[in-house]
Amino acid sequence: MEIVVATRNADKIREIRAILPGGFKLLSLDDIGFDLDLEAAEDGESFEENVIKKAEFVRSFLAYDCLVLADDSGLVIDALGGLPGVDSANFMGRDTPYKVRHEWILAQIGALGRSARFVCVMALATPAGTRTFHATMEGKIAEKPAGDGGFGYDPIFYLPEFGKTAAQLSMEQKNKISHRGKALLKAVDYLHENFGI
């Protein structure tokens, strides 16, 4: 079964491939030669709105019947009123290095509460319509960055139950508990139940 993943982010594709059971062939936007700008479809005010628009935008341009999987995810920090939130990928500018974003967040938080969560909403656009799947990973903002695994905000996202940041976990550990992993498994259950795959 072919699934087009609505992203060019190689890290996301790698994570999804590691989580997805056998029997699925994942294609990225680069694999199918999709050269339209997805940012135009990501102007919603919520993760769900963005991910539905993204999945349906990609599917509308494909000439063959396929499934399109899209993911919109981000870091939500309570003490910062939910920032960076739905704008996590573009926070402080898309080209701003994550190290700079980490430093800014840590400076802003100071002694404020550190509760935070990663949120993921996945959309699966099929011939029968579009379904969404929600999941979170609860944690805290670390006192300083640690680890060189993962990507994005992982080095400053601390998981008390492991005593490590998300960037210090192995990919296998992270995929079992991550927001993206949990949302993806819900999508896989839906495929099994409704498409027999």
Catalytically active residues are: 72
Question: Tokens for 93?
Answer: 């500018």
| Nearest-angstrom CA–CA distance, 191 and 4 | 14
DSSP output for the chain: -EEEES---HHHHHHHHHHSPTT-EEE-TTTTT--S-GGGG---SSHHHHHHHHHHHHHHT-SS--EEEEEEEEEEEGGGTT-BGGGGGGTT-TTS-HHHHHHHHHHHHTTS--EEEEEEEEEEEETTEEEEEEEEEEEEE-SS---SSS-TTGGGEEETTTTEEGGGS-HHHHHHH-HHHHHHHHHHHHHHHHH--
